Every structure is written in C-alpha cells, then in structure tokens.
Amino acid sequence: MSDKQEKYHEYDGIIEHDNPLPTWWLATFFITIIFAFIYYIHYEMGGGGKTLTEELNVAMQEIDKTKASATSAAPMETEESLQAAFAKDGVVALGAEQYTAKCASCHGPELGGLIGPDLVDKYWIHGKGTRMDIVKVIREGVAEKGMPPWGPVMKKEEIYAVAAFILSKKGTQPAGAKGPQGEPIEDYLTK
C-alpha cells in the first residue's frame, strides 16, 4: 500500500477522505465537554445552582418586600398629623417659595386663580379644603383638567409646606381673583 492509500478509502467509486478536523472545531468540541462537566457539578451535585422555580421564588420575595416597604413608607396621614406638620417652624416660608416657583403661574401670584382656581376662597372643586384634601389634590393632580400631579416631583415636606402656605392665606382677598369654582364650603373660612 502506498502512502496515499492510507489517507483515503475508496468504496464503490466513492472516495472517503480522512482529513484532520479543523482546530477551531475541536476546540469548541472540547469546551462543550468541559462545560457539561461544570454544569453537571454545579446544578446536579448540590453545587448551589438555582433552578428556574427557585429563581422565580427569590424574585417574587424581592417584589413582595419592595411592595411591603412601599406601603409602610406611604405616609399615614391624618388631619391631626398634617396639622402638626404644617405648624412646624419655617414650613409656611418654604411653602411660599415652592408656591412662587411651581404654582403661581397657574393659581396666580396671590392665589386668586388664573388657569387654576382660586385657592383662598371657600369654594372647592376637590374635597372640602381640609388639609387631607389639599395634600391629596396636590400630590395626585387632576391630569384631565390641567393640574399636574406633584407627588412624583416634590418631596413630602414640600407638598406639606405649600399646603400649609395655601391655608395660611385662607380668606385673603387677592386683587383680580378668578371667582367661585366648585362647591361653597360654608364653614371653611371660619374653621
């Protein structure tokens, strides 16, 4: 047999070569074998690999935790807790700053109303002008009527402050006030 005959066989006129496999192919092949070993040890022999179900459970726990902390972080507000928060030193002054920066363009420099309603008269569209009502409408806004939700933009203290500022101006008579909008709350100005 000549040297040439060892490199290929011929059967029924079909030539079968015996060339070496390309190096890149062999390398990939061996890597997959090594990977299979590592995979098996990691996932099947108690190496700490997590199954999809375990991963899901962990993720769900995280979500539940986040939800729980979000609820506990939500302010437990009452009329009394707001009254105390509004009465702190410097709150009304901070509220005045916030008002000028964020609210005056729509509610007027003296709170008499422009695009938005008068905030110092006894007429309220949303709620009855309680501290809770005012904080709620500032936080949530009235998107379809053009009152932006300030909850995502302002800190809790800033919202409290601006509400405290509005209440501190209760009953004032701004020049060029817009006039009544909403329901009259008869005891609002005297409360």
Residue with tokens 């991963």: 55
Site size toward ligand HEC (CB under 6 A) is: 23
Q: Token digits for 139?
A: 């936080």
Task: Check binding of 160 to ligand HEC (CB under 6 A).
Answer: no
Q: Which two tokens stand for residue 191?
A: 């409360």
162 binds ligand HEC (CB under 6 A): yes
In contact, 92 and 168? CB cutoff 8 Å: yes
**Residue 155 engages ligand HEC in binding (rule: CB under 6 A):** no
Contact between 62 and 54 under an 8 Å Cβ cutoff? The reply is no
Which one of 85, 91, 94, 147 is in contact with ligand HEC (CB under 6 A)?
A: 147
Of 86 and 150, the one with the shorter C-beta distance to ligand HEC is 150
- The candidate with the shortest Cα–Cα distance to 103, out of 113, 94, 93, is 113
Please, which residues have CB within 8 angstroms of residue 148's CB and are 6 or more apart in sequence?
A: 141
**Counting contacts by CB under 6 A, is residue 149 touching ligand HEC?**
no
On the 0-12 / 13-18 / 19+ scale of CB atoms within 10 A, 182 is middle
Cβ proximity to ligand HEC: between 81 and 188 the closer is 188
Q: Which residues contact 15 (CB under 8 A, 6 or more apart)?
A: 8, 9
Q: Which of residues 77-106 bind ligand HEC (CB under 6 A)?
A: 102-103, 105-106
Task: Pick left, alpha or beta for residue 75 (phi over 0 → left; psi -120 to 50 → alpha; otherwise beta).
Answer: beta
Comparing CB distances to ligand HEC, the nearer of 82 and 107 is 107
Site string for ligand HEC, 103-142 (x = CB under 6 A): x-xxx-------xxx-x----xxx-------x--xx---x
- Minimum CB separation of residue 77 from ligand HEC in Å reads 15
Q: What does the binding site for ligand HEC look like in residue numbers (CB under 6 A)? A: 102-103, 105-107, 115-117, 119, 124-126, 134, 137-138, 142, 145-148, 150, 162, 182
